[in-house]
Structure 1
Amino acid sequence: MKKLLLRSSAILLCGITTFAQEVNYEEYDLDNGLHVILHQDRTTPIVTTSVMYHVGGKDRTEGRTGFAHLFEHLLFEGTKNIEKGKWFEIVSSNGGTNNANTTQDRTYYYEVFPSNNLKLGLWLESERMLHPIIDQSGIDTQKEVVKEEKRLSYDNSPYGQFLPVLGKNLFDVHPYKDPNIGYMKDLDAATLDDVLVYNQKYYVPNNAVLVVAGDIDLTETKKLVKDYFGPIPKGNTITRNYPKETPITTQKKATFNDPNIQIPAAMVAYRTPGFTERDAYVLDVISTYLSDGPSSKLYKKMVDDQKQALQVGAFNISQEDYGMYVVFGLPVGETTLEVLYTEMEEEIEKVRTTLISEKDYQKIQNKFENQFVNSNSSVEGIANSLARYYLLYGDTSLINKEIEVYRSITREEIKNVASKYLNTNQRLLLEYLPEENPAN
């Protein structure tokens, strides 16, 4: 019976691997340094046009945080040829959708149109790059938009502050110590000249990648790309030399009071390597082992069996320069945060000191195979992945071969990486607490 089950698992795994279609693409550079990636998929008459800029929250000077996030909003204000406030109307009236998002490391803009509107998508993104209207009125408007977003997503959202608090306590000198959205006092102090200089530095073709994916004719698309983006002037070379963090060798402790919660949280965090490092992939595997699904080690133990936690999890927050590995738990009833810390550490210690079982190892491999298949299930997702792998990892081909990294990770490697980064003397213990009632 055991052999039969193993054979069935092997057949299933083979089927999953076979089903994952290779993503074909073509990439090249324009003379101005813009990297172009084209992916043809004619199964559905839609096209995604997207531009990812290598600029995020970490790209700032002291006292001027949050500029990349401000620009995420600001570059929808209007251009030389797009009237202020008309961007979204143009997109929707032509059957499209669009959005943007910013992390600490990059900013991503994209449109999804019926494929007969490819030219419109390319024109919009070329306008954003070449002809943005940046004036005091637009800056003032978008500052208020950002402040409202901060109030909704951070200040007034349960557990909304945990990422900024972790960053502040895990990093001493690297810009990751400051929140991606920035400090509002810095945005208030920003001048028009500050914003213009930022735009001229980062929103240039040689600091970006353009991805066109979907129902396209490659020859026609190349011509359109050259017509719309070729005339855009190349920017100055950008150099980054952010300060390095001194390794954490003594346990840190911190507390934070959140007025929006009633249940406290026990959080443990570790500073880990950037996402291009192999060890970061191994930490992803450890997260899946500890907390992905009801049969995972932390969930089964602390939620199901011992009923100490309402929720528990472990996840690797991937970033370019350093990552943050976070384990958290929400207590049940009279369970203390100390109990949660103890129980979480017990499971982490097992990963540090013993090999996970072959059964658990195979289950993890199957999960990553499934994730790999699903990640390339839409043209929109493929466009994002192509941009990200080129711009941040420096290897577009990872869209097809990153799964090979996960397949090659061994049980011994899991143990070694856990013992390298997830030790008690390298961690931050954060007590994330309800705000104290002054009346008490």
Structure 2
Amino acid sequence: MIRPFFRMILGIALAPALAMAAVNLPVHKEVLPNGLTVLLHPNKQAPTVSCRLFYVTGSVHEVPGKSGLAHILEHELFKGTKKVGISDSIADARFMAMQDSLQALIRSAKLAGDTAKLKDLNAKHDSVLNEHRKIFVKDELWGAYQAAGGTGLNAFTTDLMTAYIVTLPKNKVELFMWLESDRMQNAVLREFYSERSVVREERRMRYDDKPTGRYYESLNSLIYEAFPYRVPTIGWPSDIDNLTREMAEEHYRKYYKPRNAILVLAGDLDTTATMDLVKKYFASIPAGEEFPPLTIRDPEQAGEKRLTVTRPDAPNLFNLVFKTPEVGDPSLYALDIVEGVLNGRSGRLYKRLVEEEKLAVSASASNSPNKYVSEFSVRVNLRPDADVAKVEKIVWEELEKLKVTPVSEREFQRVKNHAYAGLVRSLTDMENVATMLAWYEMYGDYRIFLDWAENLNKVTASQVQSIAAATFDHDKAVTGTLLKKK
């Protein structure tokens, strides 16, 4: 699962002391009548444009029994449209109808436990699919981007959204408009059930058979009791196995539309001409439906929660997690300072656990802002013979110090300089700029990203102590350990 945490910026090498200044990044924002949000950042450092289309639909919007729906749709939208990926659209529609009918019979036979009939129906379905594949134009969408000089072509799904990304030569931006507006209206979900098997195998490799994958799924479901961040973006195994093309088709028709989309372009572009292109291709698309408000929230944590998992193939890990306010809350800037103080080879956790006590091979802290609710976490990769109780005691000692002893001015300035230098450098990468603008607009306002360094500079030592005292409470902690079974 991918999120743009502030720690990404904090991770760049320390620069000389810099005077903090507001980031002046020209951004044209316009919302079309159908709800499509458009952000344009002109920058002529290279004759390319980084293109991002975010659909604000992820696992938080999935109802029980349909987890993994947004993720499988991410895959399916590369199968093509009525115009792309197929040589005969009339035959295509006929083949799709035959497969849908056979799948309905397969589901009935499966429920009835009729294995002989199930085997026969699956064979018929595979036969129809093989005939269908003869009229495919394989990977035509990918090929079109690559032939135009596209780089960085990718897609990903998170708990909040699904993103399609590519960087193109500046004279090929209209291709992006044409392909993505077509995909927004006319996607055909071909090979759905074979793709469902691909996703199921992906889940098996990344989660079911991977000790850290299952451990973090279990830990996540302990952190969130009711809120849907507890649901894995890839989906639960039984849900994946029972997803249907009709479910995905309904979700696509309702929500993969302008009302729920953010289009961002950053690079060598003319704002007026680019907006004319956006309107030409997207303005006529119906708005689509709005997601129902996400009203569910976790209850107040009743006390400290713990998870211990032992496996013969496991590494040795220690995790400590605290829920924090959602992105945009002023307290998160003070927690960015806390992260910088604790994190990295010059941070307090590494010095204490790795260098002094020789209990760990690495130790890190992460402030992870997110919509609705955020997290602050500590992760320690333990040495095989490490005393877990001692590691936990030291981590808490370092957190307690932040409550009672002000961060030194030297340490404070080091973190701020580090952060600001990283932010300035990141703004020279148009792929990063386009992604971050889209991400923070999804959070509510792209300016959160641009104003971050200025707000960080306002944080005081007393605010750091105050937020440390409010956050690092034993009764609000979730502790996880993954240990090698002896």
Checking the alignment, whether the CA contact within 8 Å between 1:69 and 1:102 is kept in structure 2 is yes
Checking the alignment, whether the CA contact within 8 Å between 2:15 and 2:421 is kept in structure 1 is no
1:217 aligns with 2:270: yes
- The higher-RCO structure (CA 8 Å, 6+ apart) is 2
Of 172, 176, 197, which aligns to 2:250?
197
**Aligned equivalents of 2:464 and 2:253: distance in 1?**
44
Secondary structure class of the residue paired with 1:267: strand
Secondary structure class of the residue paired with 2:34: coil
**Aligned equivalents of 1:357 and 1:399: distance in 2?**
27
Match runs of 1:146-157 below 5 Å: 146-157=199-210
1:114 aligns with 169
Once the two structures are TM-superposed, the CA of residue 412 in structure 1 deviates from its matched residue by 1.1
| Structure 2 residue ranges without an equivalent (≥5) | 1-13, 86-137
Checking the alignment, whether the CA contact within 8 Å between 1:105 and 1:319 is kept in structure 2 is no
Checking the alignment, whether the CA contact within 8 Å between 1:159 and 1:258 is kept in structure 2 is no
Of 380, 387, 402, which aligns to 1:336?
387
Match runs of 1:154-303 below 5 Å: 154-157=207-210, 159-258=212-311, 260-261=313-314, 263-291=315-343, 293-303=344-354
Secondary structure class of the residue paired with 1:343: helix
**Aligned equivalents of 1:298 and 1:260: distance in 2?**
26
Secondary structure class of the residue paired with 2:180: helix
**Aligned equivalents of 2:312 and 2:161: distance in 1?**
31
**Aligned equivalents of 1:375 and 1:59: distance in 2?**
31
Once the two structures are TM-superposed, the CA of residue 124 in structure 1 deviates from its matched residue by 1.6
1:6 aligns with none
**Aligned equivalents of 1:328 and 1:151: distance in 2?**
24
**Aligned equivalents of 2:358 and 2:372: distance in 1?**
37
Checking the alignment, whether the CA contact within 8 Å between 1:104 and 1:319 is kept in structure 2 is no
**Aligned equivalents of 2:246 and 2:167: distance in 1?**
33
Judging changes above 3 Å, is the alpha-carbon distance between structure 1 residues 157 and 95 closer, same or farther for their aligned structure 2 residues?
A: farther
TM-score (norm 2): 0.82
Per-residue CA deviation, residues 24-46 of structure 1 (Å, 9 max, x unaligned), is 12111112111111111122111
Per-residue CA deviation, residues 177-224 of structure 1 (Å, 9 max, x unaligned), is 111211121021122221122112321101111112211222321221
2:79 aligns with 77
4+ long deviations beyond 6 Å? none
Letter in 2 for 1:101: F
Letter in 1 for 2:363: V
1:352 aligns with 403
Larger displacement relative to structure 2 (32-41 or 315-324) = 315-324
Letter in 1 for 2:178: W
1:3 aligns with none
**Aligned equivalents of 2:269 and 2:259: distance in 1?**
24
Per-residue CA deviation, residues 258-311 of structure 1 (Å, 9 max, x unaligned), is 4542x32122112222222222332232122112x2111010111111211111
1:311 aligns with 2:362: yes
**Aligned equivalents of 1:192 and 1:334: distance in 2?**
50
Q: Which structure has the bigger radius of gyration? A: 2
Match runs of 1:94-109 below 5 Å: 94-97=148-151, 98-109=153-164
Letter in 1 for 2:329: E
Q: In percent, how many aligned pairs have the same letter?
A: 30
1:144 aligns with 197
Match runs of 1:47-62 below 5 Å: 47-62=49-64
1:403 aligns with 2:456: no
Judging changes above 3 Å, is the alpha-carbon distance between structure 1 residues 287 and 334 closer, same or farther for their aligned structure 2 residues?
A: same
2:25 aligns with 23
Once the two structures are TM-superposed, the CA of residue 317 in structure 1 deviates from its matched residue by 3.0
Once the two structures are TM-superposed, the CA of residue 10 in structure 1 deviates from its matched residue by 12
Report how many residues are paired: 420
Larger displacement relative to structure 2 (396-405 or 29-38) = 396-405
